[in-house]
């Protein structure tokens, strides 16, 4: 009996960090408020298709190693599935399921004609050569070929994948179908059908979401101290764009540690240092510290732009920011969200705040399919239009139902997908 509570707590903690269960909890709350019937809930909750593949790969030393890959297609109702592919040693099927579902809701929130998909390969890119990464990528692409295609499923970069990874996927797919098919992936180099503005899109979406939230809260950028967790395409670019808008970025981090300067960081200089040294450590105009307590620093705006499960029931009560704009996917657990709601912390959720990336991915897909490419100014203008409208739609839904922005985003997204299901019916 003495071990009972400890075991129960361990199970509870494990459940909190399971991204699929966290997503399901948020889904259920929104579905309750929408009054969805049990059958429709079951349709929208379950992934349409899950694929697990083994990837035998010849390593540089001549040995053969078998990697495991996943692709989950959550929902086809509004269009082809859309979502990134991540390479990481801790990728698991529940994580990929959750990310695929989040992509469905994200695409729906910004009202673009995609469903959600996500993929991953269990590997540590830091331990692999460029040649090994290419062979893994091409084998993975060949293994999931039957479910890919511009009208089926369109991958994109995610954690530890990039433009080069997408070029390998596009080439492998094109070789199999015997024609160059640029629209099979997004996030490609511009020279082979990529879109201008794509690399900056997620960070720009974070900046635009912060701007709209700040307007609603009646705050000015120049009076706002910002902490950014992460310094990649989302955190680094988001911090740079916020800096240009007049925000004071007091802290930014990478996987090794955190910079802190209460007077504000010079973000162009910080990013130049990061580019040259591949880590933030050593930047002279800031204190370098352990990242453990970065999220709890005294600030006005917090941008978690690293990975999932960063704000939890263990630290949510110590978050000092009054506004959180989520750059990462799933950085706040469902249990932590309840604590933040009770404390009156405004959270612009991931499925709205970081939707800039998938929005410009949609633009890239459109440009590839019509063979005509836009200027970066046009891309950024159209992205701003989409993000501003999406924020207004979510904010109006929040006021209508008297709920948080996160719950409102889920209500809006689920209602749009459910409406399409009702119109299309069930094929039997």
Residues annotated as part of the active site: 118
Phi, psi (degrees; rounded to nearest 5) at 263:
-90, -5
What the block records as the tokens of 392 is: 């207004």
Give the HSE-up count for residue 94: Cα atoms under 13 Å, Cβ half-sphere.
Answer: 14
Opening angle at CA 23, ends 169 and 206, nearest 5: 65
CB atoms within 10 A of CB 266: 15
Alpha-carbon gap, residue 319 to 346, rounded angstroms: 12
Cα torsion 16, 357, 141, 231 to 10°: value is -70
């Amino acid at each position: 009996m003495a071990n009972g509570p400890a075991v129960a707590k361990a199970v509870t903690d494990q459940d909190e960090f399971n991204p699929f269960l966290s997503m399901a909890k948020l889904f259920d709350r929104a579905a309750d408020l929408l009054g969805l019937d049990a059958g429709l809930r079951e349709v929208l909750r379950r992934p349409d298709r899950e694929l697990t593949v083994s990837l035998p790969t010849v390593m540089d030393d001549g040995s053969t190693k078998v990697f495991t890959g996943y692709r989950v297609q959550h929902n086809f109702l509004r269009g082809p599935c859309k979502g990134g592919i991540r390479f990481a040693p801790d990728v698991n099927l529940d994580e990929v399921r959750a990310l695929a579902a989040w992509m469905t809701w994200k695409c729906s929130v910004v009202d673009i004609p995609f469903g959600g998909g996500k993929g991953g390969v269990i590997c540590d890119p830091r331990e692999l050569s460029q040649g090994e990464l290419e062979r893994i990528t091409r084998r993975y692409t060949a293994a999931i070929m039957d479910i890919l295609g511009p009208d089926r499923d369109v991958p994109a970069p995610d954690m530890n994948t990039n433009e080069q990874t997408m070029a390998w996927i596009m080439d492998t797919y094109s070789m199999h179908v015997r024609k160059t098919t640029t629209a099979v992936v997004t996030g490609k180099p511009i020279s082979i059908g990529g879109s201008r503005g794509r690399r900056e899109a997620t960070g720009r979406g974070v900046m635009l979401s912060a701007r709209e939230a700040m307007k609603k809260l009646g705050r000015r950028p120049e009076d706002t101290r910002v902490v950014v967790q992460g310094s990649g395409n989302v955190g680094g670019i988001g911090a740079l764009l916020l800096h240009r808008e007049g925000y004071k970025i007091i802290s930014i981090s990478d996987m090794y540690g955190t910079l802190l300067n209460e007077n504000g960081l010079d973000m162009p200089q910080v990013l130049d240092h990061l580019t040259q040294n591949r880590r933030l450590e050593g930047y002279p105009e800031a204190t370098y510290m352990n990242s453990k307590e970065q999220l709890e620093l005294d600030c006005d705006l917090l941008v978690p732009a690293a990975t999932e499960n960063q704000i939890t029931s263990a630290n949510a009560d110590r978050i000092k920011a009054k506004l959180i704009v989520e750059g990462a996917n799933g950085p706040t657990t469902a249990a932590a969200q309840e604590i933040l709601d009770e404390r009156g912390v405004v959270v612009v959720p991931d499925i709205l705040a970081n939707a800039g990336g998938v929005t410009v991915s949609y633009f890239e897909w459109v440009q590839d399919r019509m063979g005509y490419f836009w200027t970066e100014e046009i891309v950024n203008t159209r992205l701003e239009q989409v993000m501003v409208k999406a924020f207004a739609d979510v904010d109006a839904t929040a006021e209508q139902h008297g709920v948080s922005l996160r719950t409102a985003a889920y209500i809006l997204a689920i209602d749009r997908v459910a409406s399409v299901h009702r119109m299309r019916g069930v094929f039997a």
